[in-house]
């Protein structure tokens, strides 16, 4: 398993080392010891699976506020998605920066999204499936989000968004989120 830093502090690409023979292949997709050595949160509390019928489906940009903040290990298990993490930690040197990466079933690459980042993805193919391990249980009262098309974030989605839920379309811009919550994670920036 190779763990590689991205442009967002704490976000990493996780590439498996596949071993193949006449039977097929084997690859370890998670190793708590290696994650801990790399300084990544290795606790898995929930595992989620999302299916998406149409290409151009956007899910995001979601986060959970402390004390329910969560780290995610996201992998595309069928089709392809463009996966994005946005740093919403005011004290981070990469505050408001984002990393976007194509994840597909063939590549077996994953994106590790640390606590304090919003996460979302856009399906690049029909029938895309995304599996992710999460470090904290979902807490509806801690749920938050920011607009996927916020000009302040300037995410260059690789294709048009065709399907987005009313809830995801209604998340505030980053400026409104900071005004409403004293920062997306409740931190006062004044």
Tokens of 104: 């597909």
Q: 98, 119, 132, 138: which one is catalytic?
A: 132
62 is catalytic: yes
In angstroms, rounded to a whole number, what is the distance separating the alpha carbons of residues 55 and 62?
Answer: 20
What one-character-per-residue DSSP string does 145-160 give?
E--TT-TTT----SS-
Tally the residues of the chain. 190
Catalytic residue selected from 12, 19, 62, 98: 62
Cα separation of 190 and 183, whole Å?
A: 10
**Closest by CA position to 16, among listed 80, 132, 107:** 107
> What is the set of active-site residues?
62, 132
């Amino acid at each position: 398993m190779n763990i590689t830093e991205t442009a967002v502090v704490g976000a990493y690409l996780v590439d498996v080392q596949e071993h193949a023979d006449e039977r097929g292949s084997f690859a370890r997709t998670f190793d708590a010891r290696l994650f801990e050595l790399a300084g990544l949160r290795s606790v898995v509390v929930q595992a989620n699976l999302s299916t998406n019928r149409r290409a151009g489906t956007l899910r995001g940009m979601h986060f959970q506020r402390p004390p329910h903040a969560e780290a995610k290990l996201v992998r595309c298990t069928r089709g392809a998605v463009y996966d994005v993490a946005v740093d919403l930690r005011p004290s981070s040197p990469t505050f408001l920066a984002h990393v976007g990466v194509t994840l597909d079933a063939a590549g077996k690459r994953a994106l590790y999204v640390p606590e304090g980042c919003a996460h979302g993805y856009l399906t690049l193919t029909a029938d895309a499936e995304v599996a992710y391990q999460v470090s904290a249980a979902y807490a509806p009262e801690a749920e938050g989000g920011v607009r996927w098309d916020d000009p302040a974030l300037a995410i260059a989605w690789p294709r048009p968004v065709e399907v987005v839920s009313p809830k995801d379309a209604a998340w505030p811009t980053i400026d409104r989120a900071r005004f409403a919550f004293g920062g997306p994670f409740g931190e006062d920036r004044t």
